[in-house]
Amino acid sequence: CEIELPNMKLPLHCICVHLGLWARSRTFQLARLCERIEAHVPHGEPLIIAGDFNDWRRKASKFLARELGVHEAFEAVGGKPARTYPASLPMLSLDRIYVRGLKVKSAECLNEGAWAGLSDHAALMAVLAPG
């Protein structure tokens, strides 16, 4: 989707993904995702790609950085992706928030209290600013 925000001159492009469990499928899906973004999102416009990347081997970040110029929110503030699975005791880093043209002010993994029972994955939140 495209979102117009009052403090930004350009529209914010937001994409939600849920990639497959198999590495080969994810490789194909990431390539198709990049093709789609290249075709529909102008290079200079801000972009958020978030969701379940099923990327416990941490291969998506380098690929997406090279292809789209995005960076991962938790890597930007803490040096590594958040552990999100299983939500009750997060051990694997499966979910990500990638951004382009935005500054990551903070990022938080929401896996306690009311958030804990919403999904088998912990929710992620990032505070972003025009970048």
Identify the pLDDT of residue 118: 84
The string of pLDDT tens digits covering residues 75-102 is: 999 999 999 999 988 999 999 999 999 9
- pLDDT score at 82: 96
Please, what is the average pLDDT of the chain?
A: 95
Residue 115's pLDDT band, with cuts at 50, 70 and 90, is confident
Question: What's the confidence (pLDDT) of residue 112?
Answer: 84
Provide, for the chain, the percentages of residues in helix, strand and coil under a 3-state DSSP scheme, each rounded to the nearest 5.
25, 30, 40
pLDDT of 117: 79
Q: What confidence tens digit (pLDDT) does each residue in 12-46 have?
A: 999 999 999 999 999 999 999 999 999 999 999 99
Residue 74 is predicted with a pLDDT of: 98
Q: Name the amino acid, one letter, at 103.
A: K
Per-residue pLDDT, 41? 97
Residue 30 neighbours by CB under 8 Å, 6+ apart: 19, 60, 63, 64
Alpha-carbon span 11 to 97, nearest angstrom: 18
